[in-house]
Structure 1
Amino acid sequence: MTMRAIVLTGPGPVENLEPRELPIPEPEPGWVRLRVHAFGLNRSELHLRLGYADNARFPIVPGIEATGVVDAAPGSDLRPGQQVVAMMGGMGRAFDGGYAEYTVVPRAQVIPFRSELPWDVLGAVPETLQTAYGSLTVGLDLRAGQTLLIRGGTSALGYATAALARDLGATVLATTRQRDRLDDLAAHGVAHPLLDDGDVAAQVRRIVPDGVDAALELVGTPALPDTLAATRVHGTVCMAGMLSNEWIVKDFYPIGYLPAGVRLTGYSGNAANLPPEILQRTLDQLAEGTFSLGPVTTYPLDRIRAAHHAIETNAVSGKVVITV
């Protein structure tokens, strides 16, 4: 038996993403085979294709997340047909990931859920929600009544974090480099949409004179000094993304780089960092229409190259989902 899959033959252009017929993988005990219905595209997969990843092998089926149903789970508590998401834990780097009709992952990376939402909606949720939730809780320890600045607000992670923060009771400020996306931020609950002019700190301090309580850096190291300057003494900046494809601070001298008293943290998590009850609650809220993770653009599997190109050129706002 074979399946459709997308194989990345090596770093390079979108043409290196090759549609192929591969054998359906067999799960060993402790592993779960998913019948993939949808998966979200992530910036890390773009980094993999562009050659920035140093922990990958080629050729490989990319994809750090997948949404679907259990197809086989030997020796597991999961049953065939059960709805699940899977993410991280080496997917798409150490072993074949979600760009396929079937994928095999460790049980620890699988979270069951129940929902009647369509698969293209469900496919947008897992990794984005995990990172947003982990950034706010582990990275920032955000509390009700605080102010949060999001750099890169019209990314999928930006929209999701804004929604979670607003649900928590925080006031959200968020940036975009494109003026025509300011209204999108406002429509998704951002109290203060800001046009990124290179001096966001000045704009923030006109709104919050002492600086924000917390800031999520999704652009990367080029924007980090400006984000730090927008944050109050004893406030926290968490770096969790790199939309700029730059994540190294050259010649880092902490005393000179960090404003006095401003804390800098980072966040990168996996399935264990997303409690099943948070996933289920978010899906229920999405179904009720009381919660939104932002815009979703959907492509079929055979248009994976177009989807990658859209992410690489920042042609889309929010999450890109592939339906299988």
Structure 2
Amino acid sequence: MTATTMRAVVLDGPGPLSALQIRELPVPTPRPGEVLIQVKAFGLNRSELHTRLGLAEGMTFPRVPGIEATGVVAACPGGEFAVGKQVVAMMGGMGRAFDGGYAEYTCVPVAQVIPFTSSLDWPTLGAVPEMLQTAYGSLTVGLDAQPGQSILIRGGTSSVGAATAVLAAQRGMTVFATTRNPAKADALKQLGVDHVLIDDGEVAEQIRRIVPDGVDTALELVGTPTLPDTLRATRIHGVVCFTGMLSNEWLVENFYPLGYLPQGVRLTAYGGDASDLPAAVLQEFLDAAAAGRITIPVDQVFSLDQIREAHGYMESGGAVGKLVVAL
């Protein structure tokens, strides 16, 4: 028997940490084509920070934020998923166009749901969906990364950066990753990073001392402030994929391609959705973690009551890997 009310985090509008309010809400009623998920854990994302800071487009308030959730199926009127099935859900308007994962239950379109089977604990599972989707999509769709190539991860201690390092190391790539904090170097090494670069805004010179022609591929997770330097770190016919905006800056003012882009370096971007993460890739990743072959980079786990503390920590940039709320 599904509960009739639930605890949820609500934003009445953009604001400081105090704008994150925990309230009792009715449990949503799923219609055919929707899935009601009992949320066991959810990861925190910069997207939700943008929502709280008023930087996100397409927002209506009041809103339960959260672009992802991990849990079990509580109801599925169309029968697409069995009740009790382990699932993740992400994107597709979650937390923006409709209420998202910062709640004990969330109701999402069937298309945003991916099933899996795992005995890993819920906080670990909760770290995976959006982080893996973004890292996997950036490597495959964005960069077309190949075994043996080199990759620069600009923003290596972010959750997506950490997951990309794990996936790139799995592929036998030579992994360069940046951090502004030398104390985080060992944590990056443990994820499979070969060369940790301390980011002072200029890492292209550091890269070219190790690989004179530049890296084959580069993942930009910091944003437009570091993008020109990331482009300069990349070889002719190499690819730079713009995926993240840790800096909260994503516009290039007065963009003049001939002056901005180094000759022969290719610039692309990746956004992604649930449909970009095949169920088999999710299952393989979870199985590899369960077998100890890879590490799922979880920095810290919070309770729902600690949502303001968690958001404050996310905003501070102190984490190495994913921040998770477990219910």
Give TM-score scaled by structure 1 length.
0.99
Aligned to 1:211: 214
Please tell me whether the aligned partners of residues 187 and 320 of structure 2 are also in contact (alpha carbons under 8 angstroms). no
Rounded to whole Å, the distance in 2 between the matches of 1:241 and 1:159 is 13
Residue 198 of structure 1 deviates from its aligned partner by 1.8
Rounded to whole Å, the distance in 1 between the matches of 2:51 and 2:258 is 33
From 285, 290, 294, give the equivalent of 1:291: 294
Give runs of aligned pairs for residues 229-308 of structure 1, distance below 5 A: 229-308=232-311
Pairing 1:33–2:28 present: no
Aligned to 1:313: 316
Instruction: Tell me the secondary structure at the aligned position of residue 100 of structure 1.
Output: coil
How well do the aligned residues superpose, as a CA RMSD in angstroms?
0.7
Please tell me whether the aligned partners of residues 48 and 65 of structure 2 are also in contact (alpha carbons under 8 angstroms). yes
- Residues 42-73 of structure 1: per-residue CA shift (max 9 Å, x gap): 00000000010121111100000000000000
Rounded to whole Å, the distance in 1 between the matches of 2:13 and 2:145 is 40
Give runs of aligned pairs for residues 172-251 of structure 1, distance below 5 A: 172-251=175-254
- Residues 249-297 of structure 1: per-residue CA shift (max 9 Å, x gap): 0000111100000000000011100000000000001111101132331
Residue 319 of structure 1 deviates from its aligned partner by 0.5
From 88, 93, 106, give the equivalent of 2:109: 106
Rounded to whole Å, the distance in 2 between the matches of 1:161 and 1:317 is 13
Please tell me whether the aligned partners of residues 124 and 296 of structure 1 are also in contact (alpha carbons under 8 angstroms). no
Rounded to whole Å, the distance in 2 between the matches of 1:144 and 1:37 is 35
Rounded to whole Å, the distance in 2 between the matches of 1:79 and 1:134 is 28
- Residues 183-230 of structure 1: per-residue CA shift (max 9 Å, x gap): 211121100000002210000000110000000000000000000000
Rounded to whole Å, the distance in 2 between the matches of 1:32 and 1:163 is 31
Q: Give the paired residue count.
A: 324
Instruction: Tell me the secondary structure at the aligned position of residue 259 of structure 2.
Output: helix
Please tell me whether the aligned partners of residues 76 and 107 of structure 1 are also in contact (alpha carbons under 8 angstroms). no
Aligned partner of 1:18: which letter?
Q
Give runs of aligned pairs for residues 152-171 of structure 1, distance below 5 A: 152-171=155-174
Percentage of matched positions with identical amino acids: 64
Rounded to whole Å, the distance in 1 between the matches of 2:79 and 2:107 is 13
From 134, 139, 143, give the equivalent of 1:136: 139
Give runs of aligned pairs for residues 72-91 of structure 1, distance below 5 A: 72-91=75-94
Ranges of 4+ aligned residues in structure 1 off by more than 6 Å: none
Please tell me whether the aligned partners of residues 9 and 22 of structure 2 are also in contact (alpha carbons under 8 angstroms). yes
Aligned partner of 1:75: which letter?
G
Rounded to whole Å, the distance in 2 between the matches of 1:108 and 1:54 is 22
Aligned to 1:48: 51
Please tell me whether the aligned partners of residues 297 and 320 of structure 1 are also in contact (alpha carbons under 8 angstroms). yes
Most deviating of 288-297 and 229-238: 288-297
Rounded to whole Å, the distance in 2 between the matches of 1:281 and 1:127 is 16
Q: Structure 2: where are the runs of 5+ without partners? A: none
Rounded to whole Å, the distance in 2 between the matches of 1:295 and 1:82 is 24
Rounded to whole Å, the distance in 2 between the matches of 1:166 and 1:231 is 19
Q: Structure 1: where are the runs of 5+ without partners? A: none
